Structure 1
Amino acid sequence: MSSTNAPADIKLPMFSENDDPMSSKGLLGERDNAPPTNATSAVEPPKKMWPGYIIMVWIALSSSVILQNAYILNKLGFKFPIFLTTFHLVYATIGVRILARTTHLLDGLKDAQMTWDRYIRNIVPIGALFSASLVFSNLAYITLSVSFIQMLKAFTSVAVLGMSVLAGLEKMNPRTFIIVIAISSGVALASYGEINFVMSGFVYQSLGIAFEAARLVAIQKLLTGLKLTPLVALYNFAPVCAALNSLLIPFFEGAAPFNEVLDKVGLPFLVLNASTAFLLNVAVVFLIGSASSLVLTLSGVIKDILLVAGSVLIMGSTVTFTQMLGYSIALAGLVVFKTKQEIVDQHILKIRSLLSR
């Protein structure tokens, strides 16, 4: 629900990092994240469109969700990320059920083979991890800039790989180890160069990444064999996450968000925000299989760069040269990490041939 991977693009990424060429995430908000590849689902996109159009729509919606959430939680002073996340999840729960009744976008429901036993044992634990990921990621936006959070999110792939190795799902090889060092060094350099560094925000985002990585690994362990398209995943996970988050509101935020939401945010903007997040999940359905994994990976990089630029231009964030250098290293590492070895080798040979002329 997917998903990535943050306010996590309150989308709900529901698939593994290996299925997501750039980010940690899949649905309801970016955790980060990035477009899923052809491997995300066995279901073809509902209609064939020009890939460039689909990618541009995805980038616009994903970036809009992140910037809107940051604006609400930071600039508008509505510091209630659990409430905001819960509103998105309730909105998605209702919206996806309307789509199930009125369109063919959720025809995959009949193939999901979901039973109550599987729902309790598999869906609920993953939903709990996802709720924690969303809440902590959104908490970070209260104190950290969008640009810095995007840089920190580059570490999600490393976190997922590390947990996958510990869980016995992946093996570390020399190439991967070098890439991990490059990404980690880039993120560390970007963090070192952050002017407005706030430790609490850094800890919140780190916890969000940790829970996101745990969720993605749990999906590989617990949902193997299930055919879950992005919207089918949203159909199953959104109500669980909404219910779990609703239980947290009275203890951590109380009645304050209900008293302040109309004055500080306003109903029209709140609905627009939730609608954008929901449309992002619908866009993912058309994005799947629309282009090669390399194109989608590069699209994710472009989206991240545009988000950092948008954070500077729209929200007044400050990005130092040290951060740009570190983030460039991390993004380069991510592209190599998400691209098949043979494709990387082909491009290296082309570059060598051009330089030798």
Structure 2
Amino acid sequence: MRVENGVDWLCGRDENSVVKREGVSYYTRTAAFTIFWWVVSVTVIIANKYILSTLGFRFPFFITFIANLVILIGAFLLTRFKIANADPVSQDQLWLLLYPAGALTSLQIGLDNLSLVYLSVSVHVVFQSLTPLVQLLVGILCGLEHWQRQTAFALLGAGVGMALSIFGESETGGGAGLSFMGVAAVLVSMLTSTLRSVMQQAMVQGAQDSGVTAASNKNGTHRLKRRLAALTETRLSPLTVLLYKSPMCVAVSGVISLLFESRAMYNFDYSETPGGALILCLSMLSCGVNGSIGTR
């Protein structure tokens, strides 16, 4: 065994040492971004709760609109002044991937904010922690994932844990932490997130599926799979995703806020709510959340 690399004893065989060191670096970077995303996400949730409940600024989709607008402006300025470059995007990527993802993302964030008006932070976090399991269950129902015994135990354990957490919250808070409207909003938010995840996973698996037969050529399935493959062949940079997804996020959240929140916002007493700076800070934090997710 050669020892000139100095880390063969840690990485294993010499011929794999470079690959394993790169793997360690990748996982370290991923862990750092995950921790950063978690810290910023918790901060955003707490700030949202403070603005929506304590300050009484109960306009969740307007907050979502402001956050997405700041993200869009930031991404535009970065590309406009050549600080960073965005990748070229095809029409298929825009209409089949980025725009639908933007609309679903805007709905998800807005519904998350709406649930915080009625739910305590602890209950909100409990529900949100179940989102990956809901995505797994829907993926199994759609044939994108395989059912395993470990999956059943995970789903059962998560369900019991959620029930105990919600029961404890209702006991300690006298039921004040629970609300039908809040639970409905967070559940729809989870389903929206699941729909986006399943849609993207179906695209990836459709692109990777090599079992295209001659019969599929007759009904157009082959052409669809080739279009899906084109979407997933090139990895878009986080800046590109933000630049092209944010306009749809702004449009969806802006229209919903205009339809359902504009009258109440017009009658709101802004002189007693010093929340403008907090909303702006929240928007900047949302930029960090989106950037960290995209980088991962």
Which of 168, 188, 200 is equivalent to 1:207?
A: 188
**CA–CA distance in structure 2, aligned partners of residues 283 and 201 of structure 1:** 27
CA distance in 2, matches of 1:248, 1:282: 24
Question: TM-score, normalising length from structure 2?
Answer: 0.71
Shift of 1:124: 2.4
Task: State the Cα deviation string for residues 57-104 of structure 1 (Å, max 9, x = none).
Answer: 544422221111111111111111010001100110011122234566
1:165 aligns with 2:140: yes
**Contact 1:136/1:205, CA 8 A, preserved across alignment:** yes
Structure 1 match to 2:238: 230
Quick check: which one's helix share is greater? 2
Q: 1:266 to 1:213 in 2, by over 3 A?
A: same
Distance 1:261 1:229 in 2: 42
Counterpart residue number, 2:251: 243
For each residue in 1:105-154, what CA deviation from the matched residue of structure 2 results, as whole angstroms up to 9, or x when unmatched? Answer: x54x32xx522343123322222222221121111100111111111112
The residue type paired with residue 176 of structure 1 is: T
Counting only pairs closer than 5 Å after superposition, residues 56-135 of structure 1 correspond to structure 2 as 57-102=36-81, 106-107=84-85, 109-110=86-87, 114-135=89-110
Q: TM-score, normalised by structure 1?
A: 0.59
CA separation of 1:187/1:258 partners in 2, compared to 1, >3 Å: closer, same or farther? same
- Kindly indicate whether the alpha-carbon contact (under 8 Å) linking 2:241 and 2:294 is maintained by their aligned counterparts in 1: no
Aligned residue type for 2:201: Q
Contact 1:154 1:183 in 2 (8 A): no
3-state SS of paired residue (1:141): helix
Secondary structure of the residue aligned to 1:77 is coil
After superposition, give the CA deviation of every residue in 1:134-182 in whole Å (9 maximum; x if it has no partner).
1211111001111111111121111101221222211111111211111
State the alpha-carbon separation in 2 of the partners of residues 126 and 134 from structure 1.
Answer: 12
Q: From the superposition, tell whether residues 94 and 117 of structure 1 become closer, same or farther in structure 2 (CA, over 3 Å).
A: same
Q: CA deviation at 1:55?
A: 6.1
Tell which deviates more after alignment, 254-263 or 229-238.
Answer: 254-263
The amino acid of 1:182's aligned partner reads G
> Equivalents in 1 of 2:154, 2:282: separation in Å?
36
CA distance in 2, matches of 1:123, 1:220: 14
- What CA distance in whole angstroms lies between the structure 2 residues aligned with 1:65 and 1:77? 17
The answer to whether the 8 Å contact 2:47/2:278 transfers is: no
Q: Secondary structure at the match of 1:193?
A: helix
Q: Deviations over 1:274-306 (max 9, x none)?
A: 1122133344567x4xxxxxxxxxxxxxxxxxx
- Partners in 2 of 1:250 and 1:77 — Cα distance? 19
Deviation at residue 53 of structure 1 after TM alignment: 7.0
Aligned structure 1 segments of 4 or more residues deviating by more than 3 angstroms: 49-60, 101-104, 222-226, 258-263, 280-286
Q: Does 1:176 align with 2:151?
A: yes
Secondary structure in 2 matching 1:228: coil
1:218 matched to 2:199: yes
Change (3 A) 1:219 1:259: farther
Q: Which amino acid aligns with 2:249?
A: C
2:75, 2:113 → 1: CA distance? 23
1:277 and 1:75 mapped to 2: Cα distance?
Answer: 20
Find 2:264's aligned residue among 253, 256, 262.
Answer: 256
Structure 2 counterpart of 1:191: 166
Cα distance per residue 1:221-260 (max 9 Å; x no partner): 3453341333322222111111112121222112433664
Unpaired segments ≥5 residues, structure 2: 1-24, 171-175, 204-230
- Cα shift at 1:262: 4.6
Quick one: distance in 1 between partners of 2:48 and 2:195?
A: 24
Contact 1:154–1:187 (Cα < 8 Å) also in 2: no
Q: Select 1:273's aligned residue among 257, 273, 282.
A: 282
User: RCO greater where, 1 or 2, for CA within 8 Å and sep 6 or more?
Assistant: 2
Residues 282, 212 of structure 1: alpha-carbon distance in 2 compared, 3 angstrom cutoff: closer
Output the CA distance in 2 between the equivalents of 1:117 and 1:58.
29
Structure 1 vs Structure 2 CA RMSD = 2.9
Does the C-alpha gap of structure 1 residues 262 and 130 become closer, same or farther in structure 2, counting only changes over 3 Å? same
Contact 1:78 1:261 in 2 (8 A): no
Alignment match, 2:129: 154
Look up the SS of the partner of 1:268 in the other structure. helix
In 2, the alpha carbon distance for the partners of 1:101 and 1:184 equals 48
Aligned length: 238
For the pair shown, which has the larger CA radius of gyration, 1 or 2?
Answer: 2
Give unpaired runs (5+ residues) of structure 1.
Answer: 1-43, 289-357
Counterparts of 2:82 and 2:139, CA distance in 1: 36
